[in-house]
């Protein structure tokens, strides 16, 4: 089982093949890459005046970062099958790397939303505000919903990400994760900017505090989606690489099942935190 690492974009050419061995530096490198590509991929369609510049940016970011994701997957394959690293340890490292990419995309869209302001965000990224059913409320006035409603919505997203990852593999996973990161960042930044004046806080302070308050459930939810993408991407690749009686296929499917279960647990915890902890943390602002 192997993953190719094509350089399909000029941005991908500048990606270093080897990541740092130090975990902290490695995650920082991945986050900066995703942040940089998000800013570039958003700047270009906005500057060129595309009517749906926000949607176009999603596909550009996914195209740029799917090469990096392919490299992470290839690294995972080498660790497990050639270096004999324990599967759980290798998958944990890969999931952390993908989460770092997700955080970089999130930070990039948050910066874009802050710089553009609410009116331009509504015009260029209306899809995100519509997806979140955003009205005229501020972040403190936002109704987070009930546990069952949030869990049902997030489970639906979980299934969509799993399907896209299974069918389109690295690009599908990156596109789905980028979509969610963009909606989180654009909506939270917009809501925070609305509430800044009433709280007598500068806009950037309001956004920073909002992100800090919501970080626990966003990270857990992000981990759930990353686990789903990895689980079904591995299953897709394994089922088309190995025969039904090959013990390697069973090993891949067991790992996929464990990743799916881990994602479900993270999804439950994220929903609980969003319902019970996030409103309390925001009320402290």
Nearest to 156 by CA among 139, 185, 131: 131
**Is-contact 90 76, C-beta < 8 A?**
yes
Q: Which two tokens stand for residue 227?
A: 């686990």
Instruction: For residue range 62-79, list pLDDT tens digits in order.
Output: 988 988 898 899 999 999
Please say whether the beta carbons of 58 and 124 come within 8 A.
no
CB of 145 within 8 A of CB of 275? yes
* Rounded Cα gap, residues 96 and 49, in angstroms: 35
Tokens representing 242 are: 């190995």
pTM for the whole thing?
0.90
CB 49 within 8 A of CB 118: no
pLDDT-based confidence at 255, cuts 50/70/90?
very high
Q: What is the pLDDT of residue 159?
A: 97
pLDDT, residue 37, reads: 93
Helix, coil or strand: residue 2: coil
The residue ranges of every structural domain in the chain are 10-283
CA–CA separation, 145 and 160 (whole Å): 21
CB atoms within 10 A of CB 99: 20
The dihedrals phi and psi of 137, each to the nearest 5 degrees, come to: -80, 165
Beta strands in 121-226 (DSSP E): none
Q: Which of 194-198, 240-244, 247-251 bottoms out in mean pLDDT, i.e. has the lowest?
A: 194-198
Task: Please give the Cα distance from 54 to 183 (Å, whole number).
Answer: 11
67-71, 136-140, 159-163: which has the minimum mean pLDDT?
Answer: 136-140
Considering only residues 89 and 3, tell me which one the structure prediction assigns the higher pLDDT.
89
pLDDT of 10 > 70? The answer is no
pLDDT at 196: 56
Residues 95, 163: Cα–Cα separation, whole Å? 18
Query: Are 142 and 71 a contacting pair, CB within 8 Å?
Result: no
User: Mind listing the pLDDT tens digit for each residue in 165-189?
Assistant: 999 999 999 999 999 999 999 988 8
């Amino acid at each position: 089982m192997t993953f190719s690492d094509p350089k399909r974009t000029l941005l991908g050419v500048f990606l270093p093949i080897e990541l740092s061995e130090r975990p902290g530096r490695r995650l920082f490198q991945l986050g900066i890459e995703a942040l940089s590509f998000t800013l570039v991929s958003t700047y270009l369609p906005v500057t060129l005046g595309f009517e749906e510049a926000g949607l176009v940016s999603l596909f550009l970011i996914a195209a740029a970062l799917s090469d990096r994701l392919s490299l992470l997957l290839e690294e995972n394959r080498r660790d497990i099958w050639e270096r004999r690293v324990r599967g759980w340890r290798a998958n944990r490292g890969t999931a952390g790397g993908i989460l770092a990419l997700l955080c970089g995309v999130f930070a990039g869209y948050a910066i874009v939303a802050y710089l553009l302001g609410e009116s331009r965000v509504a015009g260029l990224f209306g899809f995100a505000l519509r997806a979140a059913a955003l009205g005229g409320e501020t972040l403190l006035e936002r109704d987070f919903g009930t546990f069952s409603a949030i869990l049902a919505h997030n489970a639906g997203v979980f299934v969509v990400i799993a399907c896209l990852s299974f069918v389109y593999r690295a690009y599908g996973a990156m596109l789905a994760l980028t979509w969610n990161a963009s909606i989180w960042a654009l909506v939270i930044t917009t809501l925070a900017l609305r509430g800044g004046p009433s709280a007598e806080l500068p806009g950037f302070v309001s956004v920073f505090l909002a992100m800090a308050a919501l970080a626990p459930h966003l990270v857990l939810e992000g981990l759930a989606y990353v686990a789903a993408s990895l689980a079904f991407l591995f299953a897709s690749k394994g089922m088309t690489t190995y025969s039904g009686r090959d013990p390697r296929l069973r090993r891949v499917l067991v790992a996929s099942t464990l990743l799916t279960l881990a994602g479900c647990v993270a999804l439950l915890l994220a929903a609980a935190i969003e319902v019970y902890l996030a409103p309390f943390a925001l009320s402290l602002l």
